[in-house]
């Protein structure tokens, strides 16, 4: 699976939108873009995923660049509970065993 690059950390104010960027310039045409987050002392939690089109769900929105070399996870109104490490992961369609390869992620800090 291709590699992703994310900032080590970001800060946000509570109730403001947060845009978490991810670069994946070597993405292949069949790679899905997945986002997970890990709250303190918990296991990773699925957030959202997409292939080409932007996606929305109850947790977040995923904006995918037209060339698919980057994507942005959007939290519309950050809460203190959103403080976590956010992982952007590429999963190939031929990924053996459906496993996910985690990078360093972005640590999001939310200020009250």
- The residues of the shown chain that bind another protein, judged by CB under 8 A, are 32, 34, 36, 38, 41-46, 49, 85, 87, 91, 95-102, 104
Q: How far is the CB of 42 from another protein (least distance, A)?
A: 6
The strand pairing partners of 75, in sequence order, are 18
Q: How far is the CB of 21 from another protein (least distance, A)?
A: 20
Query: CA dihedral defined by 78, 82, 85, 86, rounded to 10 degrees?
Result: -60
Residue nearer to another protein on the CB measure, 11 or 45: 45
Contact 44, 36 (CB under 8 A): yes
Cα–Cα dist 61/47, whole Å: 9
Query: What is the DSSP-derived secondary structure letter of residue 14?
Result: T
Q: How far is the CB of 97 from another protein (least distance, A)?
A: 4
Residue nearer to another protein on the CB measure, 5 or 13: 5
């Amino acid at each position: 699976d291709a590699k992703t690059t994310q900032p080590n950390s970001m800060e946000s104010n509570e109730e403001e939108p947060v845009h978490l960027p991810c670069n994946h310039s070597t993405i292949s045409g069949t790679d899905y873009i997945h986002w997970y987050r890990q709250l303190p002392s918990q296991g990773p939690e699925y957030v959202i995923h997409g292939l080409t089109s932007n996606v929305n769900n109850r947790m977040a929105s995923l904006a995918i660049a037209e060339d698919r070399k980057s994507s942005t996870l959007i939290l519309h109104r950050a809460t203190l509970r959103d403080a976590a490490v956010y992982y952007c992961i590429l999963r190939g369609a031929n990924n053996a065993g459906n496993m996910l390869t985690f990078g360093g992620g972005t640590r999001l800090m939310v200020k009250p």
